[in-house]
Structure 1
Amino acid sequence: MDDLTHLLALNATERVGSVLLRRLLDRFRTLAAVAAAGERALAEVEGVGASTASEIRRAFAENAGERERDLAERHQVRLIPWDDPASPHGFRCLFDAPLVLSVRGSLEPEDAAAVSMVGTREATPYGLGMADRLAADLSECGLTIVSGLARGIDTAAHRGALRRGRTLAVLGTGVLRVYPEENEPLSRRIAASGALLSEFPLLSGPSAVHFPRRNRLIAALGLGTVVVESGDASGALITADWAMEHGKPVFAVPGPCTSPVSRGCHALIRQGAAIAACPDDILDEIGFSRNVAPLTPEEDRVLASLQSGPLSAAEISAETGLARSDVEESLSRLSRGGRARQEGEAWLSASRLLRPASR
Structure 2
Amino acid sequence: MTPALSPNTKAILLLTAPLIAGRGSSSPDLLTPGEYKRLARHLREIQHQPADLVSPDAAELLRACQPVIDEGRLQRLLGRGFLLSQVIERWQARAIWVISRADPEYPRRLKIRLREDAPAVLYGCGDINLLGSGGLAVVGSRHVDDLLLDYTMSVGRLAARARKTLVSGGAKGIDQAAMRGALEAGGNVSGVLADTLEKTVMNREHRNLLIDGQLTLISPYDPSAGFNVGNAMQRNKLIYALADASLVVNSDLNKGGTWTGAVEQLDNLKFVPVYVRSTGEQSTGLDALRKKGAMSWPNPQDVASFEAVFDVIAPTPAASLQSEFSLFSKNETLDTATEPLVMPATAPQPETPKESWAIVALNEQPLAQALAPLPLAEPEFDVRIEVASESLQIRSAQAETLFGTVRELLRQLLKTPMKDAEIAAALDVSNAQAKAWLQRLLDEGAIEKQKKSAAYVVKNSSLFE
Q: TM-score, normalised by structure 1?
A: 0.70
Give the direction of change, closer, same or farther, for the CA distance of 1:27–1:264 in structure 2 (3 Å limit). same
**Cα distance in structure 2, aligned partners of 1:195 and 1:187:** 10
**Cα distance in structure 1, aligned partners of 2:200 and 2:169:** 11
Correspondence for 1:82 among 101, 106, 123: 101
Structure 2 counterpart of 1:20: 38
Give the direction of change, closer, same or farther, for the CA distance of 1:102–1:170 in structure 2 (3 Å limit). same
Give the direction of change, closer, same or farther, for the CA distance of 1:311–1:178 in structure 2 (3 Å limit). closer
**Cα distance in structure 1, aligned partners of 2:173 and 2:194:** 15
**Cα distance in structure 1, aligned partners of 2:73 and 2:232:** 22
Whether the 8 Å CA contact 1:177–1:205 is kept in 2: the answer is no
Give the direction of change, closer, same or farther, for the CA distance of 1:43–1:241 in structure 2 (3 Å limit). farther
Are 1:188 and 2:207 matched, yes or no? yes
Are 1:116 and 2:133 matched, yes or no? no
The Cα of 1:99 is off from its aligned counterpart by 1.2
Structure 1 counterpart of 2:242: 221
Are 1:198 and 2:219 matched, yes or no? yes
Give the direction of change, closer, same or farther, for the CA distance of 1:202–1:120 in structure 2 (3 Å limit). same
AA aligned to 2:311 is G
TM-superposition CA deviations, 1:137-179 (whole Å, max 9, x none): 0121011001111110011011011022011110112521339
Structure 1 counterpart of 2:450: none
**Cα distance in structure 1, aligned partners of 2:205 and 2:91:** 20
Give the direction of change, closer, same or farther, for the CA distance of 1:214–1:23 in structure 2 (3 Å limit). same
Structure 2 counterpart of 1:72: 91
Report how many aligned residue pairs link the two structures. 294
Give the direction of change, closer, same or farther, for the CA distance of 1:255–1:58 in structure 2 (3 Å limit). farther
Whether the 8 Å CA contact 2:126–2:217 is kept in 1: the answer is yes
SS in 1 for 2:200: coil
Correspondence for 2:284 among 243, 256, 263: 263
TM-superposition CA deviations, 1:236-269 (whole Å, max 9, x none): 1222233333331001013556x6xx22212111
Correspondence for 2:80 among 58, 62, 71: 62
Whether the 8 Å CA contact 1:172–1:214 is kept in 2: the answer is yes
1:45-194 equivalence runs, <5 A: 45=68, 56-63=74-81, 64-91=83-110, 92-95=112-115, 96-108=117-129, 111-164=132-185, 165-178=187-200, 184-188=203-207, 190-192=209-211, 193-194=214-215
Give the direction of change, closer, same or farther, for the CA distance of 1:133–1:111 in structure 2 (3 Å limit). farther
Whether the 8 Å CA contact 2:9–2:102 is kept in 1: the answer is no
SS in 1 for 2:99: strand
Percent pairwise identity: 24
Whether the 8 Å CA contact 2:252–2:284 is kept in 1: the answer is yes
Give the direction of change, closer, same or farther, for the CA distance of 1:57–1:235 in structure 2 (3 Å limit). farther
Residue ranges of structure 2 left out of the alignment (5+ in a row):
1-5, 18-29, 313-328, 335-366, 373-379, 387-465
- Which structure carries more helix by proportion? 1
Are 1:251 and 2:275 matched, yes or no? yes
Whether the 8 Å CA contact 1:219–1:242 is kept in 2: the answer is no
Whether the 8 Å CA contact 1:114–1:222 is kept in 2: the answer is yes
**Cα distance in structure 2, aligned partners of 1:249 and 1:21:** 34
AA aligned to 1:176 is E
Correspondence for 2:15 among 4, 10, 16: 10
AA aligned to 1:269 is R
Give the direction of change, closer, same or farther, for the CA distance of 1:21–1:255 in structure 2 (3 Å limit). farther
Instruction: Identify the range of structure 1 (112-121 vs 199-208) with the bigger mean alpha-carbon deviation.
Output: 199-208
Whether the 8 Å CA contact 1:14–1:200 is kept in 2: the answer is no
Give the direction of change, closer, same or farther, for the CA distance of 1:185–1:70 in structure 2 (3 Å limit). closer
The Cα of 1:109 is off from its aligned counterpart by 5.5
Structure 2 counterpart of 1:44: 67
1:335-354 equivalence runs, <5 A: 341=381
The Cα of 1:25 is off from its aligned counterpart by 1.4
Whether the 8 Å CA contact 2:99–2:121 is kept in 1: the answer is yes
SS in 2 for 1:117: strand
SS in 1 for 2:194: coil
AA aligned to 1:236 is T
The Cα of 1:275 is off from its aligned counterpart by 1.1
TM-superposition CA deviations, 1:194-229 (whole Å, max 9, x none): 111011122222222211121111110011121111
**Cα distance in structure 1, aligned partners of 2:228 and 2:75:** 23
Structure 2 counterpart of 1:241: 263
AA aligned to 2:269 is H
AA aligned to 1:44 is P
Whether the 8 Å CA contact 1:68–1:202 is kept in 2: the answer is no
Whether the 8 Å CA contact 2:99–2:122 is kept in 1: the answer is yes
Structure 1 counterpart of 2:418: none
Give the direction of change, closer, same or farther, for the CA distance of 1:57–1:204 in structure 2 (3 Å limit). farther
Structure 2 counterpart of 1:287: 311
AA aligned to 1:61 is G
**Cα distance in structure 1, aligned partners of 2:235 and 2:87:** 20
The Cα of 1:43 is off from its aligned counterpart by 6.0
Whether the 8 Å CA contact 2:156–2:166 is kept in 1: the answer is yes
Structure 2 counterpart of 1:212: 233
C-alpha RMSD of the superposition: 3.6
AA aligned to 2:244 is L
The Cα of 1:72 is off from its aligned counterpart by 2.7
AA aligned to 1:80 is I
